[in-house]
Amino acid sequence: MKVTEHIKNANGKTLFSFEIIPPQKGSNIKELYNNIDPLMEFKPPFIDVTTSREQHVYIEKDGLLDRKITRMRPGTVGICASLKYKYNVDTVPHVLCGGFSREETEYLLVDCHYLGIDNVMALRGDAMSHQKYFEPSKGGHQYASELVEQIQNLNKGKYLHDVIEASDKADFCIGVAGYPEKHIEAPSLQSDLKRLKHKVDSGADYVVTQMFFDNKKYFEFVEAAKQAGITVPIIPGIKPIATKRHLQLLPQVFKIDLPEDLINAVESCKDNKAVRQVGVEWAIKQSKELQNAGVPVLHYYSMGKSDNIKAIAEQLF
């Protein structure tokens, strides 16, 4: 079932969903199951699975360092299929511009269609570590809006090099990212909203926001999006703070602001166990306000661990 259908069928009730990252290659998927199992009692209608782009690694050979390109966390589509049939839950694989050609994207989408995966999250992705700015892969897309257009073309039976007459066309529901505090590269929030509007006009069906810690930022973003003519569901993305290092890391990586009350609470903690509890309590407070405001879904960034997400969900679902 499509994410938008889940929202419609909920009749105004706020749904619970979360996002996971694939384990590194060489790891066992059982650890992933162990972290998902405790969350299934809250009946998530869908689970997102991220995709990591390629990165450079250095391998010593004959006393020299040889640079190779590899993907440390492959298997997104396989994990989606596994979760779909193990838990009878819809899954949402993330599809990136970065690291993929148009042909590779088409093959991935065809695999999703074969597996009965109805939803995809279309993202540009980040620049590689050695790049100052994002550079598209050879034969790949520059912008997420272009990726959305390719997915919509596939929904119409238009493949890259031919049109296939078939009764069983793909019918993907497409999610895209939104940024309540604007994308790191956007010159202004208004210009960022224009980009989001273009993604929606290209065929995106819903939006999931980047993490934020001040609900006012989300509410203002939703109102600004409506003023810009964006009418699709906007799902808030929530991440509970878990370590003191997050105070520096999250603003640096995502260019977001943290409320002073949260900063003070984290700084007063003696250890990361206490920080994790502060993060849970703050996320519960955030979530209850958002739930009372009638958001369609509360979407949590679990980052591979479920104990704090479970503690939050117990208070809300």
Residues annotated catalytic, as ranges: 19
Residue 237 sits at the vertex; the CA angle it makes with 75 and 277, to the nearest 5 degrees, is 100
Residues contacting residue 230 through CB under 8 Å, at least 6 positions apart: 193, 196, 197, 200, 207
Would you say how long the chain is, in residues?
317
DSSP letter assigned to residue 101:
-
DSSP 228-283: TT--S-EEEEE----STTHHHHHHHHH-----HHHHHHHHT-SSHHHHHHHHHHHH
As given in the structure block, the two tokens for residue 236 are 């808030």
**Tokens 């889940």 found at:** 6
DSSP β-ladder status, 297-301 and 64-70? unpaired
Residues contacting residue 86 through CB under 8 Å, at least 6 positions apart: 33
Nearest-CA neighbor of 201 among 172, 229, 222, 181?
229
